Amino acid sequence: MGDVFKALADPTRRALLDELQERDDQTLFELCTRLLHRGFSSSRQAVSQHLDVLEQAGLVRRRREGRYTFHSLDTSPLKAITDRWRTGP
């Protein structure tokens, strides 16, 4: 299992999580074009590598269908963050 904290360190990866929260099950090209509308000018390969990191961190799941690869969000690893440094009961 990869590092969840390092996965969240990059602003482009956080924007990808934002995008997947608005609309789940998006392909790589969909995510690329939608990132452009958010002001991120990332190439296809760059976005693909970011999704690799997010997948290794357990934050994104990949599902291959034909020539499309759909990506879905999984926010369960984020619970460990606030559970680790608990502010109140």
22-51: which residues touch DNA (CB under 7 A)?
27-29, 41-46, 48-50
Q: Say whether residue 82 binds DNA (CB under 7 A).
A: no
Beta bridge partners of 26: 71
Scanning 6-14, 15-23, 78-86 for contacts with DNA by CB under 7 A, the matching segment is 6-14
Binding string, 30-69, against its own copies, x = CB under 8 A? ----------------------------------------
Q: Say whether residue 84 binds DNA (CB under 7 A).
A: no
Beta strands in the chain (DSSP E): 60-65, 68-73
How many helices (H) does the chain have, and how many strands (E)?
A: 5, 2
Q: Which residue from 2, 12, 14, 52 is in contact with its own copies, where contact means CB under 8 A?
A: 14
Q: Say whether residue 6 binds DNA (CB under 7 A).
A: yes
Q: Say whether residue 8 binds its own copies (CB under 8 A).
A: yes
Give Cβ neighbours of residue 50 (< 8 Å, ≥ 6 apart): 10, 12, 13, 16, 42
**CA pair distance 33, 3, nearest whole angstrom:** 27
